[in-house]
């Protein structure tokens, strides 16, 4: 049982995400981020399957065939896209299947901060503004996301890569959270593509 090491890992990450959320004025989310990791259901498997080089959830999954800690976690933390997977076609149109619901903007932003902080943690001195984007690109085909939510996340990741952290965070605070940016795939894709054009 690696109690202390696991505690340090989750607390370091939580502190980093808190700083990022506070920068954006998301104080409540900054304080509550990943709080359920300290509950026994998540904390005990976290210590038991602590590896240091991989997530304990993956180690638990390899061992048991499922991760009880992760199933508990994703059901309680709204910044995870898995929280928002539910039946589509609720409007009576379209077929019933499992799919991503349209996430509220503030949780898409928290997911973005989470991804940036996780990239910093894993990459250490190799981290660049492109790291979170590259990580997303490698895994994006497995993610179940609402098209508008996917477009917003991609827009923020591309902006970070192209414009850097300072500009991206102030844009999120001043424009995205204040709902001045249309939360709609077609428009977000246009905005994203315009980022590649040198100004």
Is 77 a binder of Zn ion (CB under 5 A)? yes
Give me the least distance between CB of 74 and Zn ion, in Å please. Answer: 8
Q: Which stretch binds Zn ion (CB under 5 A): 72-80, 117-125, 168-176, 177-185?
A: 72-80
Query: Is 118 within 8 Å of 56 (Cβ atoms)?
Result: no
> Helix, strand, coil proportions of the chain in percent (round to 5)?
65, 5, 30
Is 154 a binder of Zn ion (CB under 5 A)? no
Is 110 a binder of Zn ion (CB under 5 A)? no
Q: Which stretch binds Zn ion (CB under 5 A): 34-42, 53-61, 115-123, 125-133?
A: 34-42
Give me the least distance between CB of 5 and Zn ion, in Å please. Answer: 18
Q: Which stretch binds Zn ion (CB under 5 A): 44-52, 71-79, 96-104, 120-128?
A: 71-79
Is 42 a binder of Zn ion (CB under 5 A)? no
Pick 34 or 154: Cβ nearer Zn ion: 34
E strands, the chain, in order: 85-87, 98-100
Tokens encoding 73: 């976690």
Closest residue by Cα to residue 7 from 64, 34, 47, 48: 47
The C-alpha atoms of residue 79 and residue 84 are separated, in whole angstroms, by 9
The C-alpha atoms of residue 122 and residue 128 are separated, in whole angstroms, by 12
Is 34 a binder of Zn ion (CB under 5 A)? yes
Pick 42 or 148: Cβ nearer Zn ion: 42
The C-alpha atoms of residue 186 and residue 94 are separated, in whole angstroms, by 20
Q: Say which residues have a Cβ less than 8 Å from residue 8's Cβ, sequence separation at least 6.
A: none
Pick 67 or 77: Cβ nearer Zn ion: 77
Give me the least distance between CB of 80 and Zn ion, in Å please. Answer: 6
Binding site for Zn ion (CB under 5 A): 34, 77
């Amino acid at each position: 049982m690696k109690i202390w090491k696991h505690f340090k890992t989750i607390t370091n990450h939580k502190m980093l995400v808190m700083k990022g959320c506070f920068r954006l004025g998301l104080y409540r989310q900054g304080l509550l981020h990943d709080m359920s990791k300290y509950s026994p259901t998540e904390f005990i498997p976290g210590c038991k399957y602590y590896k240091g080089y991989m997530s304990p959830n993956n180690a638990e999954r390899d061992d048991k065939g499922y991760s009880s800690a992760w199933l508990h976690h994703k059901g309680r933390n709204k910044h995870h896209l898995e929280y928002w997977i539910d039946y589509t076609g609720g409007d009576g149109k379209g077929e019933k299947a499992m799919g991503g619901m349209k996430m509220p903007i503030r949780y898409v932003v928290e997911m973005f901060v989470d991804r940036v902080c996780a990239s910093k943690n894993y990459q250490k001195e190799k981290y660049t503004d492109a790291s979170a984007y590259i990580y997303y690109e490698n895994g994006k085909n497995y993610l179940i996301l609402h098209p508008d939510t996917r477009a917003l996340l991609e827009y923020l990741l591309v902006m970070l890569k192209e414009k850097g952290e300072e500009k991206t965070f102030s844009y999120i605070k001043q424009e995205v959270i204040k709902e001045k940016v249309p939360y709609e795939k077609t428009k977000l894709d246009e905005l994203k593509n315009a980022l590649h054009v040198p100004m």
